[in-house]
Amino acid sequence: MAASVALLSDGFVTAPAVEEDEEAVPLSQSTQLLQRKKEMAAVQLELDKKKDEFLSRMRRCTEREEELAERQDAIKEQVRKFDKFLKENDAKRARALRKAGEEAKIREAREAERVALEAELLRQRAAQGEIEAALRNLERPEQFLARACEHSDYFEDIEAILRRHEVLEATHADLLARVKTSEEQTLQRREELHETRKRTQTEALVNASRIAAHQARLDELRLGAQDEEASLASMESGAKDRLRVLGEVAAAHCCPRPDRISAGVYTQAAQRFVRVCL
């Protein structure tokens, strides 16, 4: 009987196949035991070999994983550096644009300053030309003043003429100041007079209003007095009528010959007396 050991690729050992040989010679137990030990040793050797291969593969896998992790870290670091580079590049670009804008503003300001300076230079040149022309024009008056001093007994030199001119100019300025002061005082007095007139007119209007009120009150009092006088006159006339009628009644009543007075006359006198009393 022949025995063989098979080791699969996944590391598992299959049992040895036993084939019956009709012509095989039966072996002793010790021989079979030795043969079994040899087979077990071969299997153990194969197992150790597969184990070493497995451990070697695991080490290679671990190394590959570590290598991949290192590569990932390196890639992440490169990405971080590239991102940092992009940010720095954007910041540099922004700074460059800002600097370019500032430089453009500075150039514009300098250009405007240059234009202003050129205009100022032109004005200064024009003013210089005017001053030179004025100086040329002043040379002739100076010559005229020199000739005037030569033909004058009052002025000895040009300085005397200039001093006299300064005195006259100061006097003229003083006179102008006095005229201005007089005009201001006159204007102030006119304003005061205007205010006085307004105040007087206002007081006159107030007094006229008061006089009109008093006149109206006086007219009312006069009308009241006239009414009272009319009432008194009416009362006096009524009293006189009553006295007259009373006298007539008394005379009729006290007549020595009452038979001569008719009853109608007596009755009429009595009625008038009653009306007057009412």
pLDDT tens-place string over residues 260-273: 444 555 555 555 55
pLDDT tens-place string over residues 211-223: 888 888 888 888 8
Cα distances (Å, whole numbers) of residue 62 to 52, 109, 117, 215: 15, 69, 79, 134
Least Cα distance to 245 among 213, 210, 275 occurs for 275
Beta carbons of 232 and 249 less than 8 angstroms apart: no
In whole angstroms, give the CA distance from residue 243 to residue 246.
5
pLDDT at 97 over 80: yes
Beta carbons of 8 and 48 less than 8 angstroms apart: no
* Least confident window among 24-28, 73-77, 227-231: 24-28
> What residue type is assigned to position 98 of the chain?
R
pLDDT tens-place string over residues 136-190: 776 566 666 676 677 666 767 777 777 777 888 889 888 989 898 888 999 888 8
Q: What is the pTM of this model?
A: 0.27
In whole angstroms, give the CA distance from residue 138 to residue 153.
24
pLDDT at 18 over 60: no
* Least confident window among 58-67, 218-227, 239-248: 239-248
Q: What is the pLDDT of residue 119?
A: 92
Binned at pLDDT 50, 70 and 90, residue 26 comes out as low
| Burial of 219 per CB tally in 10 Å (0-12, 13-18, 19+) | exposed
Q: Report the b/e string of 156-180 with b at 16+ CB within 10 A.
A: eeeeebeeeeeeeeeeeeeeeeeee
